[in-house]
Structure 1
Amino acid sequence: MTTTTQTLDSLGGGGTDRLTRRGFAVMGRGIVRQRLMFTWAALASLLFGVMTVADAWVLGWATDHVITPSFEAGEITGSTLGTGVALFIAAAVLRTIGVIGRRLLGGVVFYRLVRDDRLRVTRRYPQLPLRWHHRHPAGQLLSNANADVEATWSIFMPLPMALGTIAMLVAAVATMLVADPVLTLVGLVVIPLLFVANAVYQRWQGPRIALAQSLRGDVSTVAHESFDGALVVKSLGREADETDRFRAASERLRDAAIGIGRVRAIFDPVIEALPNLAVLAVLLLGAWRVDTGGADAGDVDQSADTPSIGQPKLTTET
């Protein structure tokens, strides 16, 4: 564990800005290489975001024009009910199309980029001089062509969703400010808190993920060397030593993975709780404003969706 902590410190020291710049450069290259498919994925995500905002608006409209009048009059007209049902169905169908397109097309972009770079890496290996291969074990080369390539382009699984979320937040804030500025501002308090939580999470988690990625290459190297030299190992009676060497590498990888899980165990509940606390605050304030005549019930329904719209996720979602 001491060695793992030291390696974590070395990976996390002073390179955050540089890694951020490199990350944006990688995203730019990927978008250029898959510009058409990525554009369709972003448009599908935008449709999902707009329909999520529209769903909140439909809920507010139904509250003001269907639910509240039915309680006051004791009956409801068929045309009004039909309009409300049609609006809910239309918003749900379009939102479903958006989320399916976002996930499917984003996955296509990711796997195409991974496929192309795996071919490039493996085709480059035979062109390198023999002395280079002596310095780089075969297990590390396998890890570079497999896990490292996937890690490089993994941003393209959630990236379309992130772009749609930005557009969704803008549309949601504009719509809900029109509905009730006071309730919307209360709901929006959670957004900077979420960004701060995500920034702290990335600062803690980034070095741990980098360490785990590096240790996967070590485990692959030890495994490949053991398999490749199995006859020599058996002839010299070194099976126990090889087993201990593989166990040590595997335990270091296990410790790194547990460290990642511990950080997520701390931050996931925080990320989930903040929007829910904001919704509770909006509902309490909204109920008081409705009771005093300062707001309509539909405005409260619409504003209560503000904190949960576009909630940032710490996990890699598509």
Structure 2
Amino acid sequence: MQPRKGRGKLIWRFLKGSKAFFILSMICSAVASLSEMIVPQIIRVTVDNVIGGEPTDSLARPVQSLLERLGGTEALRERMWIMALAVLVVAGICALARYEFRVSNAKGSERLVKTMRDTLFSHIERLPFQWHMSNHTGDIIQRCTSDIETTRNFISEQMTNLMRIGILVVLSLSFMFSMNGKMALIAMIPLPVVIGYSLFFHRKFRKGFEDCDENEGKLSAMAQENLTGVRVVRAFGRERYERDRFEKHNEYYTSLWVKMGRLMSFFWSSSDILSGLQIMLVVVFGVIFCLKGNITSGEYIAFISYNGLLVWPVRQLGRMISEMSKAGVGIDRIGYIMDAEEEKDPEGALKPPMDGDICFDHVTFAYEGSKEMLHDVSLTIPSGTTLGILGGTGSGKSTLMYLLDRLYPLPEDCGKITIGGTDISKIALEHLRGNIGIVLQEPYLFSRTLRDNLGIAVRDLGDEELSAAVRAACLEETVQAFTKGYDTFVGERGVTLSGGQKQRAAIARMLTRPTPIMIFDDSLSAVDTETDAKIRGALEKRFGSATIILISHRITTLSKADQVLVLDHGKVSQLGTPAELSEQDGLYRRIMEIQGLSSDTETTEKKEVNAV
């Protein structure tokens, strides 16, 4: 992953609502730093001028004026409690500033995380279906959790200390140079070295953190897939295989962090050595200068104090550079999601009536990186009729419906799909999908109650409407069999329900919001023939005016259709009424024979459906 541009803009966007807290925390940090700078000066004046009797000529004019107001150094020598009180007051101000820094920083940090999570979730919800199909769920979750936390830590713990570091470095060096220039230069010797090797390690850290983050995403995706598909793993006895596979990747992931640990240990240990050398140089040369009379005892004590304050920001600057590498990788991974283009309505999007004829006009389509799935498909579905779609696996049946619902956009020069004469690419997405009810091939139920799942498409769904949809989907007996009825918790992906029950629940969910266009994508495959007939009969009675599209491998399911489209390798193989196709030599008739049906059987089935 290449470093992305615009990190600052992305961070600034996420800081909406928390900038004031972080600014306040930086101001408080600055006040605390200034307070820390004053204490050594109070000690210096106490040792040299108050106790030692040194003249105050070398002190700054405001300090001299303050000492005179307090009665002079002789008066202060008799009232040493004043100097002690001054230290306590400054220390108290420093403590209050640090407290407010922590509080403001915590508030800003939590608001930042909330904004990041809300923004990312909202953005992901509006991303195209195709984007979700090309990105692992586990990796997306890792970007929305671990990478957000990394970014939060950098901003709240490192960025907010920038002002404090700057003040400590500038003021420490200023006071040190004002006391003794040679000693200050000795204290500065390690600074260029620390900054230089920190920048050198920055690149190595970035590459290491990038590898760790990417492999953590892969590990999360692997765990998510295994937890979701645990029944498949158990059914095929693949526990050992999946465990070994997970452990192998986990071992590799661990080795990456061990490698990073060694690199960071070397970085921090070398930083400790340089810091120790700096302190040793200041102490040794300070003693020598003190003995030669170049600096006073008070200046030496203050110098040691300022040097101690200088060591922390220098080390912190190195830490910031290393943490910047880690945060940069996290921000880039978050930026990858934010850079993905959301689904957008065309300019001047239309909201036409959706009860018109549906027309596929020379539609050709291929998924990205795959061979052509549909080739020159043309057909018209008259309003209020039922179209059956039959075809082998991979013949493009579901793809045709994904294109109609614009889950995948139809590229230009690949044909046109219209509803009532209006090109669907010009229709507002919310309006289009709000008027197309679709039951997908693999019904998905959320880890909520049955009522929550059935009413997800309609706000404030009434009991009467809910019961009507449940009866039409032949789910009433199932609901009554549950002790808690509609309040039954169905588990993740509806794990507590059978395949047929999940399909009927998905059908009921779609029927809670009657739409002029209804699509059933092989959604009756897991129910028995009798239930199949009942559901089709209920649909005919309740939604006779809707345009219904039935995708199925079962001929009896398609027997009530006004016309049947037969797809073969993405091309229109046959199109006509069930009666016409049963008399023609083709795929429809061959499937009839395989399923042990005849034209007489189909006619009988149709009569039975109409009688239900």
Q: TM-score, normalised by structure 1?
A: 0.83
Could you give the per-residue CA deviations for residues 257-295 of structure 1, whole angstroms, max 9, x where no partner exists?
112211121121222232332222122222222212211
Q: Is the 8 A contact 1:208 1:256 kept in 2?
A: yes
Q: Per-residue deviation at 1:220?
A: 0.8
Alignment of 1:81-96 (within 5 A): 81-96=80-95
| 1:225 maps onto 2:225 in alignment | yes
Distance in 2 (alpha carbons) for counterparts of 1:67 and 1:268? 41
Work out whether 1:182 is the aligned partner of 2:182: yes
Per the alignment, residue 261 of structure 1 pairs with 261
Give the SS at the match of 2:315.
coil
- Residues 29-51 of structure 1 show CA distances to partners (whole Å, capped at 9, x for unaligned) of 45565321121011011012112
More helix by share: 1
Distance 1:85 1:118 in 2: 49
> C-alpha separation between the residues in 2 aligned to 1:303 and 1:27?
39
Q: Partner amino acid for 2:209?
A: I
Residue 42 of structure 1 corresponds to 26
CA contact (8 A) 2:138 2:224 kept: yes
Give the CA deviation at 1:52: 1.9
Q: CA deviation at 1:163?
A: 1.8
CA contact (8 A) 1:45 1:163 kept: yes
Deviation at 1:93, TM superposition (A): 1.9
Range that drifts further, 234-243 or 48-57: 48-57
CA distance in 2, matches of 1:44, 1:140: 38
Amino acid at match of 1:130: F
CA displacement, residues 29-86 of structure 1 (integer Å, 9 cap, x when unaligned): 45565321121011011012112211222332233246656xxxxxx9441x213312
Query: Structure 1 pair 173/284, CA: closer, same or farther in 2 (3 Å)?
Result: same
Corresponding residue to 2:314 among 285, 294, 311: 311
Aligned to 2:154: 155
- Please state how far the C-alpha of 1:254 moved relative to its aligned partner: 0.8
Structure (1/2) with the larger strand percentage: 2
Taking the TM superposition and a 5 Å limit, the aligned residue runs for 1:257-296 are 257-296=257-296
Shift of 1:306: 3.6
- Kindly indicate whether residue 57 of structure 2 is the aligned counterpart of residue 58 of structure 1: no
The one of the two structures with greater contact order (alpha-carbon pairs below 8 A, sep at least 6) is 1
**Identity in percent:** 17
Inter-CA distance 203–301: structure 2 relative to 1 (3 Å threshold): farther
Query: What amino acid is the match of 1:177?
Result: F
Tell me: CA distance 1:213–1:176, structure 2 relative to 1, closer, same or farther (3 Å): same
**Deviation of the 1:113 alpha carbon:** 1.4
Structure 2 CA distance for partners of 1:29 and 1:119, relative to 1, 3 Å = closer
Indicate how the Cα distance of structure 1 residues 23 and 153 shifts in structure 2: closer, same or farther if over 3 A, else same.
farther
Give yes or no for contact 1:184–1:306 (8 Å, CA) kept in 2: no
Show CA shifts across 1:194-233 (max 9, x none).
2123222322212111221111111110000001001111
Name the CA shift for 1:268/1:59 in 2 (closer, same or farther; >3 Å): farther
Q: Cα–Cα, structure 1 residues 56 and 77, in superposed 2: closer, same or farther, change >3 Å?
A: closer
Deviates more, 1:38-47 or 1:300-309: 300-309
Distance 2:141 2:265 in 1: 31
* Distance change in 2, residues 1:172/1:202 (3 Å): same
Q: Which 10-residue stretch deviates more, 215-224 or 55-64? A: 55-64
Q: Determine which structure has more spread, i.e. the larger CA radius of gyration.
A: 2
Contact 2:16 / 2:115 at 8 angstroms: preserved in 1? no
Distance 1:188 1:25 in 2: 35
Moved more, 307-316 or 232-241: 307-316
Question: In the aligned structure 1, how far is the partner of 2:271 from the partner of 2:97?
Answer: 24
Equivalent position of 1:105 in the other structure: 104
Equivalent residue, structure 1, for 2:199: 199
Residue 305 of structure 1 aligns to a residue whose secondary structure is helix
Distance 1:222 1:31, change over 3 A: closer
Distance (Å, rounded) in 2 between the aligned partners of 1:150 and 1:50: 31
Over 3 Å counting, the alpha-carbon distance change for 1:62 and 1:280 in structure 2 is farther
| Equivalent-residue separation in structure 2 for 1:112 and 1:193 (angstroms) | 38
Shift of 1:128: 2.6
**Structure 1, unaligned stretches of length 5 or more?**
1-10, 70-75
Tell me how far apart the structure 2 counterparts of residues 210 and 67 of structure 1 sit (CA, whole Å): 58
- Aligned with 2:295: secondary structure? coil
Distance 1:296 1:311 in 2: 26
Structure 1 stretch 268-277 or stretch 307-316: which is displaced more? 307-316
Corresponding residue for residue 128 of structure 2: 129
Q: CA deviation at 1:190?
A: 2.3
- Letter aligned with residue 227 of structure 2: F
| Number of positions where the alignment pairs a residue of Structure 1 with one of Structure 2 | 294
Listed one character per residue, the Cα deviations across residues 11-41 of structure 1 (whole Å, up to 9, x for unaligned) are 6xxx5xx56x644444544556532112101
Distance apart, 1:95 and its partner CA? 2.2
Q: Are the structure 2 counterparts of residues 24 and 187 from structure 1 closer, same or farther at C-alpha, using a change threshold of 3 Å?
A: farther
What amino acid maps onto 1:250 in structure 2?
N
TM-score (norm 2): 0.45
Shift of 1:177: 1.6
Counterpart-to-counterpart distance in 2, 1:192 and 1:203: 18
Q: Which residue of 1 aligns with 2:236?
A: 236
